[in-house]
Amino acid sequence: MPSLLARVRSDRRVRLAVLAAVLVFAAVALADRWDEARGALAALPLWALPASLACALAALGGQMMAWRALLAGLGSPLPAATAARAMFVGQLGKYLPGSVWAFAAQVELARDHEVPRHRGAAATAQAVAVTLAANLAVAAATLPFASEEATRRWWWALLLAPVLLAALYPRVVEAVLGTAMRLLKRPVEVRVDGRATAAALGWTLAAWIPLSLHIGVLVAGADGAGWRALPIAAGAYALAWTLGVLFVIAPAGVGVRELVLVVALSPVLTPGAALVVAALSRLVMTAADLSAAGLAGWAGRSIRAQG
């Protein structure tokens, strides 16, 4: 893995080849979701899909700010545009089989801006932990009151919410990261800033407002569910996203998110309508990932050209 990453960083042809592979996998994912979702688009209000996409992009922005806050807390502050390019372009790696590619790509792109690899890895690992904790907190606060079937099936995941929140305590994170560094034979001490962790958690929870709206818009337009379904939609998506991340062999959680959404949304949607929402959500989030990466890459080139 290190030798491959070194080649990706140093050889432009290899980087272009990897980017092409990522875009192919992302395009395939987009096409698959389009085939499933296009029949449902006619039933949605014209504003629903653009509104859902705008909410998804806003949520990605909040998640980027959380990662940037963690990097700054570790001693490597980055301008927002630079952090956006590293995160959004790197995140396209999740469309390759195995979630490790997105993780590695973010670390290497941050290293291009003088962020030591161990700090990039620590910030990305922390960001995943913060996101998982926030997601499960959202799910635990909503699903037990709205979706009995989802609670029965995945009670163990909901019980992880307070455990993960407690595990974000800086001394705990330092112990985990220190152990990981020793196992990797990298004698580097990582100091975690509690204020940066709190800021990252705040940004992540704030990102759940537009992220909830992205799925809520789709649920509201499906099968006449209406806006009363917004809380359950938020909890369903939070649980679906979390289990999709934990099931690392599925690129971007394909299949896992859909299954969880169908079960969790059963109190307000029929299985058919829930499948439509799941397909549309995947379509929107894939488009948002590609749009965010494209915008960040374009902004980065513009800044370099002006410099």
Residue 252 clears pLDDT 50, i.e. is over it: no
User: What is the DSSP code string of 193-251?
Assistant: PHHHHHHHHHHHHHHHHHHHHHHHHHHHHSTT--GGGHHHHHHHHHHHHHHHHHSTTSG
Please write the tens of the pLDDT for every residue from 166-215: 999 989 988 888 888 777 777 677 788 999 999 999 999 999 999 999 99
Q: Which residue has the higher pLDDT, 252 or 74?
A: 74
Which ranges of the chain does DSSP label H, i.e. alpha helix? 2-10, 12-41, 48-73, 80-91, 100-111, 117-142, 148-153, 155-167, 170-183, 194-221, 230-246, 256-264, 271-306
Comparison of pLDDT for 32 and 207, the residue scoring more: 207
User: What is the average pLDDT across 33-47?
Assistant: 64
pLDDT at 31 over 90: no
Q: How far is CA 228 from CA 12, 219, 233, 235, 268, in A?
A: 51, 10, 9, 13, 9
Q: What is the pLDDT of residue 179?
A: 85
Residue 236: CB atoms within 10 Å: 36
Query: Which tens digit of pLDDT belongs to each residue from 89-136?
Result: 888 877 776 557 777 888 888 888 889 888 888 999 899 899 999 999
Residue 39: pLDDT band with limits 50, 70, 90: low
- Compute the chain's Rg from CA coordinates: 19
Q: Give me the pLDDT at residue 241, please.
A: 83
Round to whole Å and give the CA distance between 280 and 107: 30
- Sort 108 into a burial class: Cβ within 10 Å, 0-12 / 13-18 / 19+: buried
Mean pLDDT of 44-48: 79
Q: What is the pLDDT of residue 278?
A: 80
Looking at per-residue pLDDT, the higher value among 189 and 33 belongs to 189
| Structure-token pair, residue 22 | 């990522």
- 143: confidence class by pLDDT, cuts 50, 70, 90: confident
95 Cβ neighbours under 8 A, 6+ residues apart: 22, 25, 26, 29, 251, 252, 286, 289
Angle between helices 100-111 and 2-10 (to 10 degrees): 50
| 3-state SS assignment for residue 269 | coil
Q: What are phi and psi of 4, to 5 degrees?
A: -65, -45
pTM assigned to the model: 0.80
pLDDT at 226 over 80: no
Q: Looking at residue 239, what is its pLDDT? A: 87
Residue bearing the bigger pLDDT, 229 or 120: 120
Average pLDDT, the chain: 79
Supply the pLDDT for residue 207: 94
294 is written with which tokens?
């494209």
Per the CB < 8 A criterion, the answer to whether 229 and 273 are in contact is: no
Q: Yes or no: say if 209 and 231 are a contact pair by the CB < 8 Å rule.
A: no
Q: Is the pLDDT of residue 16 over 70?
A: no
Q: What digits encode the pLDDT tens for the residues 265-281?
A: 887 777 777 777 887 88
Above pLDDT 90, what percent of the chain?
Answer: 25
Fill in the DSSP letter of residue 98: S
